[in-house]
Chains A and B, each alone.
Chain A
């Protein structure tokens, strides 16, 4: 009886770790599966597996490394289910990318910096970013809504992202590209 209470508590602790790190895990998934809703589905599956395998995780060891390995497996599983032209990237490329993935770092205030950088975007660019990332619209839908050409939405998105990336890097004290 006591054992099962211990084990419940252990599972709960592992789940708490998951919630704590879920931003990072989702970010990792979104890198390899850029669609928001699909990434959300995969995140849920990672959560289920984390719960099922909680017993095998030793508290105090590296949770991020452990959960990222599960996420990587789940991403590959999801990608393999799709036909080649529906895969965002082929499984081989995903494997190659994962073996070169930067070691997940602990929360480094990146999101706060990003928020500051977002405030520096011009109003139109900001609006397009918000429609894309908050409302989850695709560039074609954003173009329809704003009465713009799809191309100009794409150009705006990609310029904003490069600018934001450099802005965050500058703020972190790293070199910008």
Chain B
């Protein structure tokens, strides 16, 4: 093979455009010829250097950036301009350099931490997946697709979205949200850039997506936050309305100009920009606002229901995981009797957007509670989303030790490694005899990654387990005369009262966003209702 041919194949290799045939030709050559290997290192080495050089010497001046957008030598005005969009690798490099500057120890901690939750086994066995998507389809409403129909929730790769009617909400990975009010056609380019071919869009650009770029037929718009709309008519008439914040527009071969809240303009084909009457701009309903309103209504209704429930005299404790937390991490009891203490844990999203949950991830994460009273019967309820079941016993609510009357509510895998039982242990005699009431086995996939409403009831003579309002087991109560006592206990973990150090972990791995305990057995009907009311 002549050197030019080898070079050509190496170049294709660097851009991942080798055909299967070309790849095998290149591989054969690299195995056979020392000259080919030497050429390879030369050219491939430049590939790495270029990446480093381009990231290190990223153009920062306004002029350099605008030349990248339209390399025509157009004069530009010196307004501040955010980089096109935050590219993850750039951020990674910035990180490496700030690591050097700010002291390695902290930075390294972050790297290790970031790696840790992948789990050590994953790096050995998990396959690597590739995704070239840049956005996802948040929802669609009454859409007729001209070509290539997509569904809500689908990840979107670079390419065309073309609809003849209806509405689409596109969530770019940079954080910008674009509502396309059909008919219209949008071309997705990167996680922070798109082109509007025709139609009208309303775009919301939060702080983290600043720099989101929307190309028109003959111009480039960069949003500096927070909301604008653009319309391109069939005859390529281009208008922009800035609802809020600032955008800059650069027509091809012209200066970049800045526009602020309330301005409504038309970009003429000549590249001139002129003010137009705001009233002529079509109204584009703000669906994300509408959606936010419906979520807020849901939240208010649910909060009201929780407040009411907390007044039920049977309630021993009611955590909604939805309140402001004090500096010492109290978890507020809505019945104002038994506040919990959060140890570790992180806040994350609950059953619906705007509802918070407590996320347990590390083996030390827990909520400590104290319920000193004795009860004849009890009902335990919790909304949980289980991330992983990596312990033999995974605590939901567990009394510290094994004193008389104490209970242990958990998810355990005891008989068969692939089956999990929700179980409730009830201790009869201090340290000596107890009984565990368990459900039949569940497969992991029944339990993981979804919100579940779990309830366990110790009633007169019987013990019940419910999942999502359905009874999954009913068993004779073993120690009918034995009172029930929770005492010092933990949500999502377990502390042995003996303080042995060789106790295997029993931590829960997942989220909790509601826990309510009653001192009476709730009926199957009540539990089904609570489940129905707790759905989003």
- Which A residues have a C-beta under 8 Å from some C-beta of B? 12, 15-16, 19-20, 22-23, 26-32, 34-38, 40, 44-45, 47-48, 51, 78, 81-82, 85-86, 88-90, 92-93, 96-97, 100-102, 110-111, 114-115, 118, 123-124, 126-127, 129-141, 144-145, 154, 157-158, 161-162, 164-165, 168, 177
Cβ contacts under 8 Å, A161 to chain B: 11, 14, 43, 46-47, 50
- B57 located at the interface, meaning its Cβ lies under 8 Å from any Cβ of chain A in the complex: yes
Contact A31 B44 (CB under 8 A): yes
- B268 located at the interface, meaning its Cβ lies under 8 Å from any Cβ of chain A in the complex: no
Instruction: Please tell me which one of the listed residues B40, B72, B92, B189 contacts residue A144 in the complex, with CB atoms under 8 A apart.
Output: B189
Q: Given A90-B27, A161-B43, verify A31-B11 contact (CB < 8 Å).
A: no
Cβ contacts under 8 Å, B104 to chain A: 12, 15-16, 19
A23 to B48, CA, bound (A): 8
A110 to B45, CA, bound (A): 11
Contact B16 A134 (CB under 8 A): no
Closest to B51 in A: A133
Name A's interface SS.
Answer: helix
**Given A34-B14, A37-B88, 12 other A-B contacts at CB below 8 A?**
A19-B96, A31-B40, A47-B111, A48-B111, A97-B41, A130-B68, A133-B53, A134-B87, A140-B158, A157-B11, A161-B47, A162-B11
Contact A82 B48 (CB under 8 A): no
Contact A36 B89 (CB under 8 A): yes
Cβ contacts under 8 Å, A158 to chain B: 8, 11-12, 15
Cβ contacts under 8 Å, B498 to chain A: none
Contact A133 B54 (CB under 8 A): yes
Cβ contacts under 8 Å, B15 to chain A: 34, 132, 138-139, 154, 157-158
- 29 sampled A-B residue pairs with Cβ under 8 A: A26-B48, A30-B47, A31-B40, A31-B48, A34-B13, A34-B14, A35-B16, A37-B88, A40-B92, A45-B123, A88-B16, A89-B30, A90-B27, A93-B30, A100-B37, A111-B52, A114-B50, A133-B53, A133-B54, A133-B55, A134-B55, A135-B85, A135-B190, A138-B15, A144-B158, A157-B11, A158-B12, A161-B47, A177-B42
Cβ contacts under 8 Å, A137 to chain B: 190
- B56 located at the interface, meaning its Cβ lies under 8 Å from any Cβ of chain A in the complex: yes
Contact B53 A114 (CB under 8 A): yes
Type the 1/0 row for B95-107, where 1 means its CB is closer than 8 Å to any CB of A: 0100110001100
Contact A40 B89 (CB under 8 A): yes
A144 to B159, CA, bound (A): 8
Q: Most chain-A CB neighbours within 10 Å: which of B20, B43, B87, B89? A: B89
Contact B90 A27 (CB under 8 A): no
Closest to B104 in A: A15
Cβ contacts under 8 Å, A136 to chain B: 87, 89
Cβ contacts under 8 Å, B46 to chain A: 114, 161, 164-165, 168
A82 to B128, CA, bound (A): 7
A114 to B96, CA, bound (A): 21
Cβ contacts under 8 Å, A115 to chain B: 53, 57
Cβ contacts under 8 Å, A78 to chain B: 128
Contact B128 A38 (CB under 8 A): yes
Contact B37 A97 (CB under 8 A): yes
Instruction: Please tell me which one of the listed residues B23, B87, B111 contacts residue A44 in the complex, with CB atoms under 8 A apart.
Output: B111
A24 vs chain B, min Cβ distance (A): 8
A72 to B84, CA, bound (A): 34
A70 vs chain B, min Cβ distance (A): 14
- B504 located at the interface, meaning its Cβ lies under 8 Å from any Cβ of chain A in the complex: no
Cβ contacts under 8 Å, A130 to chain B: 54, 59, 68
Contact B50 A133 (CB under 8 A): yes
- B349 located at the interface, meaning its Cβ lies under 8 Å from any Cβ of chain A in the complex: no
Q: Given A141-B190, A161-B47, A164-B46, verify A123-B73 contact (CB < 8 Å).
A: yes
B298 vs chain A, min Cβ distance (A): 37
B65 vs chain A, min Cβ distance (A): 10
A135 to B357, CA, bound (A): 36
Closest to B128 in A: A81
A135 vs chain B, min Cβ distance (A): 6
A148 vs chain B, min Cβ distance (A): 13
CB-based closest 4 A-B pairs: A27-B48, A31-B44, A123-B71, A158-B11
Q: Given A27-B48, A96-B31, A129-B50, verify A123-B67 contact (CB < 8 Å).
A: yes
Contact A145 B71 (CB under 8 A): no
A20 to B96, CA, bound (A): 10
Cβ contacts under 8 Å, B187 to chain A: 144
Q: Given A48-B115, A161-B11, verify A26-B128 contact (CB < 8 Å).
A: no
A140 to B189, CA, bound (A): 10
Cβ contacts under 8 Å, B279 to chain A: none
Cβ contacts under 8 Å, A35 to chain B: 16
Contact A96 B30 (CB under 8 A): yes
Contact B89 A37 (CB under 8 A): yes
Type the 1/0 row for B361-374, where 1 means its CB is closer than 8 Å to any CB of A: 00000000000000
A31 to B38, CA, bound (A): 12
B219 vs chain A, min Cβ distance (A): 14
B167 vs chain A, min Cβ distance (A): 24
Q: Most chain-A CB neighbours within 10 Å: which of B16, B51, B72? A: B51
Cβ contacts under 8 Å, B313 to chain A: none
